[in-house]
A and B are shown apart, each in its own frame.
Chain A
Amino acid sequence: EAGVTQSPTHLIKTRGQQATLRCSPISGHTSVYWYQQALGLGLQFLLWYDEGEERNRGNFPPRFSGRQFPNYSSELNVNALELEDSALYLCASAGSAYNEQFFGPGTRLTVL
C-alpha cells in the first residue's frame, strides 16, 4: 500500500513569491493535515482538511491557505513568502479525525 506522497521534494523561492505544495493521502484516507517544522523546532499544526472542507487551522497568518480536492489530495499555498517561512512542510493523512496520522516525506521550502 502506497504511503502519503508529497511534491515537490524541494522548493526554492524568493521573498514575496508564492509557493504551492501538494499532498496525496494514503488510499482510503479522507483527512489531510499540514504541519510546518522549522529547523531545530517542533511540528506546528497548520491546517486540517476532511471531506473537502477546512476543519481547523493553527496559529498562522491568512497567507497560509489550502484546499482539498474531491480525490482527497490537498494543496498548501503560501503567499507573500517571508524568509522565516523556510521550513520542512509535512503532510499527514488519517482514515478519519479520530485515527492515527501518517506522514509523507515532506517538502523542504527555502525562501531566499
Chain B
Amino acid sequence: QKEVEQNSGPLSVPEGAIASLNCTYSDRVSQSFFWYRQYSGKSPELIMSIYSNGDKEDGRFTAQLNKASQYVSLLIRDSQPSDSATYLCAVREGSSASKIIFGSGTRLSIRP
C-alpha cells in the first residue's frame, strides 16, 4: 500500500513567520508532487506542483523536493491569517499515471 504521510497538526505559527509543512511518501518511483490548500468546508485548491529535486518558488510559497529521501515540503513565508487552512500533500504513483495519493493533511493555524 503506497502511502503519503503528513503530521496532522495543528501547526500554530505567528503572523509574519515562516510556516514549514512536511510530507514523506513511500513510492520510490513517484515523479510528480503537489500541494493543495483546503479551507474548512471547501474543496482543495492546487497551490504548487514540483517534479524535480530542489526548490520551486511561487510568491510566498516554496516547495522543496528530495527524491532520495522521499521527502517533500512546503514553506510559506510571511504567513497571513488567510493561510490558516489544511494543507494536503499529494503524490502521483510512479507505476500509474492516473492515481494521485493524498496525505491526510496538516492543519495550519496562523495566530495574529
Contacts and interface: CB of A to CB of B under 8 A. Distances in A.
B100 A101 contact: yes
Contacts, number: 48
A103 interface: yes
Interface stretch (A12-20, A42-50, A60-68, A73-81): A42-50
B97 A106 contact: no
Interface stretch (B21-29, B44-52, B56-64, B73-81): B44-52
Interface string A89-105: 01000000110111111
Q: How large is the interface on B (under 10, 10 to 19, 20 to 34, 35 or more residues)?
A: 20 to 34
Contact of A106 (B43, B88, B104): B43
A42 B103 contact: yes
Given A56-B96, A98-B97, A100-B34, A42 B46 contact: no
A56 B43 contact: no
Contacts of A101: 34, 46, 100
B46 A102 contact: yes
B98 interface: yes
Contacts of B88: 42-43
Contact of B102 (A43, A88, A104): A43
A31 to B, nearest CB: 8
8 contacts: A33-B100, A35-B102, A41-B104, A50-B98, A90-B44, A101-B46, A103-B36, A104-B43
